Chain A
Amino acid sequence: EVQLLESGGGLVQPGGSLRLSCVASGFAFSSYAMSWVRQAPGKGLEWVSVISGNGGNTRYADSVKGRFTISRDNSKNTLFLQMNSLTAEDTAVFFCAKQKQWLKAVDYWGQGTLVTVSS
């Protein structure tokens, strides 16, 4: 059974940093691209970033480019999202997601972790 368990969310002040983690199990982690998708309160879904199975390719939404960094540790089946220079507009539930194929469908989602940026 595929499981994705996010952690690291919480309350952070504007301008602060946070690192999200996602531990994966139930599939060959290093063989699949992984993504972070976020959803602001009461809003729709927004793709944040994606990383290839070997970590060699990444993509970012324009809204986070230069502030967020996606990475992965395939030896620990773990996906990360380092978030810097956070603003109130980054307040959202962040979902860890397993890609079915690079830049295409997501076939499994984590339950999400809430990031709140507020003073």
Chain B
Amino acid sequence: SALTQPPSASGSPGQSVTISCTGSSSDVGGYSYVSWYQQHPGKAPKLVIYEVNKRPSGVPDRFSGSKSGNTASLTVSGLQVEDEADYYCSSYAGNDILCVFGTGTKVTVL
């Protein structure tokens, strides 16, 4: 089943926002393969974090990831207007099944 994320999060420009992603020992807690995607309205998702805390080339270091037990987190520091978007987590869940996505979090920059 889908990973659980809060529906919304917000912060003022320059502040930080942290989004949680809760799964189980069969997915988030069992592997170090959590990814985070940013999606602006009407656009394709974009990878911002992979393998829990690695950033793809070109992604600002304002984006960081972590994991504790069955919960992963994405932190966006120094919020900018362009960070306003939907964010989805995803986790590897074993070789026999597809990855599972989170329910998504809408981040608003106040």
Contact = CB atoms under 8 A, between A and B. Distances in A.
Interface of A: 37, 44-47, 49-50, 59-61, 95, 100, 103-107, 109-112
B63 interface: no
A95 to B, nearest CB: 6
Interface of B: 2, 33, 35, 37, 39, 43-47, 50-51, 56, 88, 90, 92, 95-104
B56 A107 contact: yes
Q: What does DSSP make chain B's interface, helix, strand, loop or mixed?
A: loop
A111 B44 contact: yes
Contacts of B44: 95, 109-112
29 contacts: A44-B2, A44-B88, A44-B101, A45-B37, A45-B39, A45-B45, A45-B104, A46-B101, A47-B100, A47-B101, A49-B98, A50-B98, A59-B98, A60-B98, A95-B44, A103-B98, A104-B33, A104-B35, A104-B51, A105-B35, A105-B47, A105-B51, A105-B90, A106-B35, A106-B45, A106-B47, A107-B47, A109-B46, A112-B44
Contacts, number: 60
